Amino acid sequence: MSEDVVGLAAVTVLGVLEQAYFSLQVIYARRKYSVSPPATTGPPEFERIFRAQANCSEYFPIFITVLWTSGLFFSQGASSVCGLLYLYARFRYFRGYSQSAQGRLAPLYFSAQVLWVLIGFSCVGVLLTFCRVYLAIELLGQLTAALRLT
C-alpha cells in the first residue's frame, strides 16, 4: 500500500518540515522581542509572527486530512500538486504576515482557494466511491453513458 501513497507522504513530510520552520521562527521572535512563555502578547511584530504560526498550525490538520482524502479517493497526482501549491502559499503567507498584517492577505486567499480545490476533489472522490459501494450506482459510468446518448 505504501507505494501507492508515496507522493502524498512526500508532501506530508514537506508540510511537517514547514511547520517546524514556522515554530523555530516563533522561538527566535520570542528571544528577539523578549516575550517569555506563557505570555503570547507583546510588540505587534511578535504578535504577527505568533498568529501566523498559530493560524498555520490550526489549518495543518485540515490540510493533511483533505490531502489524503483527496489523494486516496480522487487522484494522488492532482492532490500532491495542490498540496505543494498550498505549502508554497503558506510559506508566502508566513513571510507576508511577519512583515505586515496586510501582507498576509493575498497568499492567505490563495491558500484558501487551493484548500477548497482539495475539499472539492475529496467530495467528488468520496461521493463516487460511496455511490458505488453502498448504492451500487456507477455515477461516472452512467454520466458518460447519458452523455453518449445525447
Site residues for a second copy per CB under 8 A:
1-3, 6-7, 9-10, 12-13, 15-17, 19-20, 36-40, 44, 47-48, 50-52, 54, 57-58, 60-62, 64-66, 69, 72-73, 97, 101, 104, 119, 122-123, 126, 129-130, 132-134
Residue (58 or 147) nearer to a second copy, CB: 58
Residues 30, 31, 48, 95: which is the catalytic one?
Answer: 31
Peptide bond preceding 38 in cis form (omega within 30 of 0): yes
Start-to-end CA span in the chain (Å)? 40
Phi first, then psi: give them for residue 119, nearest 5 degrees. Answer: -65, -40
Residues 30, 48, 90, 104: which is the catalytic one?
Answer: 104
Write the CA distances from 37 to 34, 48, 149, integer angstroms.
Answer: 10, 16, 67
Residue (7 or 88) nearer to a second copy, CB: 7
Q: How far is the CB of 129 from a second copy (least distance, A)?
A: 5
Annotated catalytic residue 31: yes
Dihedral of CA 72/73/75/81: which sign?
negative
Annotated catalytic residue 51: no
What is the spatial distance between Cα 70 and Cα 68, in angstroms, rounded to a whole number? Answer: 5
Q: Comparing C-alpha atoms, which of 83, 77, 25, 29 is closest to residue 59?
A: 83
Q: How far is the CB of 5 from a second copy (least distance, A)?
A: 8
Q: How far is the CB of 71 from a second copy (least distance, A)?
A: 10
Catalytic residue positions, numbered: 31, 104
